[in-house]
């Protein structure tokens, strides 16, 4: 049985992770953390999803869980995640990271931590999205430079980074398949007199509104036809299930930087 602690337990994703952990047979929800000073400190995590007596206390620090040496699942914010990752390194326990929007230096910190502990870091923990990555790689190689490629992503109004980490991962998959440098060819939105579209561009469009969990569409547009590959998430539980699955898997791994594709053996 793999003990799991969820940081940011009171958030939308945190609650989905609590539910997933409690319903996974080879995982045990040890508890969760919330911000210091929160009125939720001392509560039972099960209460967040309507289940009492889960014996999964909420604390304001990971230090309360040192003795059990849990796997930590973190979908919080970039600064908080880096702090939680440092705690995991200090204790020598695995960490599963679903936070997006890291800077280059923060990405380097994650890579450095992975030399000491197992780290599963993925822009998206949905099984479907990771299947989509393979489909996009194949499509990009078949179409080559004969199409225009656009990535359109939609998320809820509360998402703070744009484009999404999944959209950027999609762009990297396509760029690698085509032998392009994404940083040199990516265009993040267009405005004004932009001129004709160069064929080698990979465009990104971001939509924010309502309670959309996550939608990603890749458009391969040629003269006379177009192909669209789309993934739509209707519930955060799909990400939570993948993250808990990753936590169980990470508990059996050597130190290293892993992705959801490693977990799925894709």
Q: 51, 52, 59, 155: which one is catalytic?
A: 155
CA dist., res. 111 & res. 260, Å (int): 16
Active site includes 52?
Answer: no
C-alpha to C-alpha distance for 143 and 172, rounded to whole angstroms: 16
The three-class DSSP label of residue 195 is coil
Task: Give the integer Cα–Cα distance in Å for 228 and 218.
Answer: 6
Vertex 201, ends 199 and 205: CA angle to 5°? Answer: 125
The per-type count for the chain, helices as H runs and strands as E runs, is 8, 12
CA distance 164 to 167: 5
Alpha-carbon distance of 85 to 109, in angstroms, equals 9
* Lookup: tokens for 5: 């602690």
- What residues act catalytically? 155, 159
């Amino acid at each position: 049985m793999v003990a799991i602690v969820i940081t940011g337990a009171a958030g939308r994703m945190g609650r989905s992770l609590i539910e997933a952990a409690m319903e996974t047979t080879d995982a045990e929800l040890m508890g969760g953390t919330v911000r210091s000073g929160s009125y939720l400190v001392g509560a039972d995590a099960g209460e967040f999803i309507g289940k009492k007596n889960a014996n999964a206390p909420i604390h304001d620090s990971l230090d309360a869980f040192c003795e059990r040496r849990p796997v930590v699942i973190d979908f919080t914010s970039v600064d908080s995640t880096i702090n939680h990752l440092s705690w995991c390194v200090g204790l020598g326990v695995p960490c599963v990271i679903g936070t997006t929007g890291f800077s280059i230096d923060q990405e380097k910190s994650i890579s450095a931590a992975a030399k000491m502990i197992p780290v599963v870091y993925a822009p998206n923990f949905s099984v479907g999205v990771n299947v989509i990555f393979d489909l996009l790689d194949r499509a990009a190689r078949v179409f080559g430079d004969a199409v225009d490629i656009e990535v359109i992503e939609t998320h809820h109004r509360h998402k703070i980074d744009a484009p999404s980490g999944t959209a950027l991962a999609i762009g990297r998959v396509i760029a690698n398949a085509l032998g392009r440098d994404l940083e040199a060819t990516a265009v993040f939105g267009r405005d004004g007199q932009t001129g004709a579209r160069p064929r080698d561009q990979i465009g990104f469009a971001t939509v924010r509104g309502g309670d959309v969990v996550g939608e990603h569409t890749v458009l391969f547009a040629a003269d006379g036809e177009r192909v669209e590959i789309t993934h739509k998430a209707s519930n955060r539980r799909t990400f939570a299930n993948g993250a808990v699955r990753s936590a169980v898997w990470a508990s059996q791994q050597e130190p290293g930087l892993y992705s959801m594709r490693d977990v799925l053996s894709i």
